[in-house]
Homo-oligomer: A and B are copies of this chain.
Amino acid sequence: MARPKKRLGKKAPQITYRSKSATRKEEIIKITAQLFSEKSYHDVTMDEIAEKVGVAKGTIYLYFESKEKLYLEILEDRHEAIESLLEKEIAKSDPAPQKLRKILRIIFKFYRQNLDVLRILSRDETHLIREHYEFTEHWRLRRIKLYEKILEKGVKEGSFLPTNIKLTSQLIFGLVRSVMFFYKTDKSAEETAEEVFSVIARGILANQDEENNKDKDIGSKGNEVNLG
């Protein structure tokens, strides 16, 4: 056991003590969420977090057992927030189109206000920590299941076309994420949600019957996209 050497002259620490597990932890989460949304997991160092929070590195380890756990806690924290909002909404008994519309509104609104988590959640990092992968996959699957439920309901009610439900859910998931993430606009979250709903609902074709079934030569002829 090495004897700790006398500390060489250091700047006097200027500390405001707080009761543990109260504000400190939240403060760390808040600032770290911001950092993780700006840079990748590996590019955020514990030293940097400590510096930004204004605390010594060791302190972080009093509240979080590891970097991974800190990361995961941020995710879980916000995930529960949106999930409980959605839960409340699906419990209601609106007709399916209405339901979808409202769900979209909630999602758009929430992520407008939580862009940092969105950025973290939306990274398709199927890598990183195993737990992170499992977490985001779980989150994705759950959201898709939600869309599937609504679509099934709509088809039963006769308000939705009997399309391929699995595919359509996946498609809605992706489209929502993409718009949230990249679409820059001055419009309110509600308006954007409504616009998105419109496209999903009606599609883009002007004349439904006329143009749609022209080219049905799938899989067969020509067009042999040999990759380069």
Contact = CB atoms under 8 A, between A and B. Distances in A.
Interface of A: 38-40, 42-43, 80-82, 84-85, 95, 97-98, 101-102, 105-106, 109-110, 113-114, 119, 122-128, 140, 151, 154, 158-161, 163-164, 166-168, 170-179, 181-183, 185, 188, 190-192, 194-196, 198-208, 211-212, 214-215, 218-220, 223, 225, 227-228
Report how many copies the assembly holds.
2
Given A85-B227, A191-B218, A202-B202, 12 more contacts: A39-B127, A40-B40, A82-B227, A85-B228, A97-B212, A125-B125, A167-B196, A171-B175, A174-B181, A194-B225, A200-B203, A201-B205
A80 B227 CA distance: 10
A40 B124 CA distance: 10
A80 B228 contact: yes
Contact of A215 (B101, B114, B122, B171): B101
18 contacts: A43-B127, A85-B227, A97-B211, A119-B126, A123-B124, A163-B199, A167-B183, A167-B185, A167-B196, A178-B178, A188-B219, A191-B218, A194-B225, A201-B205, A201-B211, A202-B202, A202-B228, A203-B203
A157 to B, nearest CB: 9
